[in-house]
Amino acid sequence: MESGPRVRTWAAPAKINLALHVTGRRPDGYHLIESLAVFTRFGDRIEIAPDESDDFSVSGRYAPDVPLDGGNLVLKARDALRHAAGIRSTPPVAIRLEKNLPVASGMGGGSSDAAAVLRGLAESWGLDIDSAELARIALSLGADVPMCLAAKPLVARGIGEELSMVPDFSAVGLVLVNPGMPISTAETFAALSRRDNEPLPPLPRGVDFHSLRNWLEVTRNDLQPAALAMQPAIGRALSWLDKAGSGFSRMSGSGATCFGLFETGNVAKRAAAEIRSRQPDWFVAATRSMASEAG
């Protein structure tokens, strides 16, 4: 795709589950969760431009791991929105994905890509579609896609579709570390020893680095023990974050990405540089979460 004035770009931020409690299981097999999730300034990027025929291409560090066929959530999102809006309102587009996040890494990369495509195409095609309808289409693509569509600090419940935005949530510094091993979400859930755990405790009224760290100390990621048993390298990632001065370290989602909480972006950058120098083959990124209010 040629870069030009008609090309527009949308961010597909990483989703980090700061806490994830598994609270039950539905009769259809879906697990019930409660999770505090934030979205980071680092992530994938989506470019969209009009074209004579539909096209999809991928660039970036993790491009070789991305399927280019109909199994990709980017193409599923395009087709689902086209089906909802009608073919006449949805002319051909070229979509380019810059894949900066490792796949199957517990950061919602594919879901965030799909959400960015839904946002981007709704604007590019000039569709008269409200947020509720867009969220309905998002849920049809996967339980994580609606929260990625929101992309602000939130608590997700149910299978991930019941969203409550968290007000007064300040941006925090984060270091993301992935030792390079993809983990199957389904296998991690299947390995759980218990599925009826306590829900999340109430959040503090205003969330900043200190109150968040204190709150995280009394929460869990119920998937972490199972993932750690399957992939011991997760423990090494957590250890490196602790050594680099993380205020709090935990696995995100179903893994294998781990996060470290840092008070400022500069401290996070120094920590990331230290870990990267010791583990040059790992995915390591210093970033900041997005606050609840744009600023």
The 10s digit of each residue's pLDDT in 161-218 is 899 999 999 999 999 999 998 888 889 999 998 899 999 999 999 999 999 999 999 9
Model pLDDT for residues 31-55, shown as the tens digit of each residue: 999 999 999 999 999 999 999 999 9
Mean pLDDT of the chain, nearest integer? 94
Tell me the Ramachandran region of residue 291: left when phi exceeds 0, alpha when psi lies from -120 to 50, beta otherwise. beta
Model pLDDT for residues 149-169, shown as the tens digit of each residue: 999 999 999 998 899 999 999
- Measuring CA to CA, how many Å separate 238 from each of 154, 177, 235, 249? 24, 8, 5, 6
Q: Give backbone dihedrals phi and psi of 225, rounded to 5 degrees, phi first.
A: -60, -40
Instruction: Catalogue the active-site residues.
Output: 15, 144
For residues 269-274, give the mean pLDDT.
98
Cβ partners under 8 Å of residue 59, min gap 6: 96, 97, 98, 99
Give the pLDDT confidence score for residue 185 in this predicted structure: 86
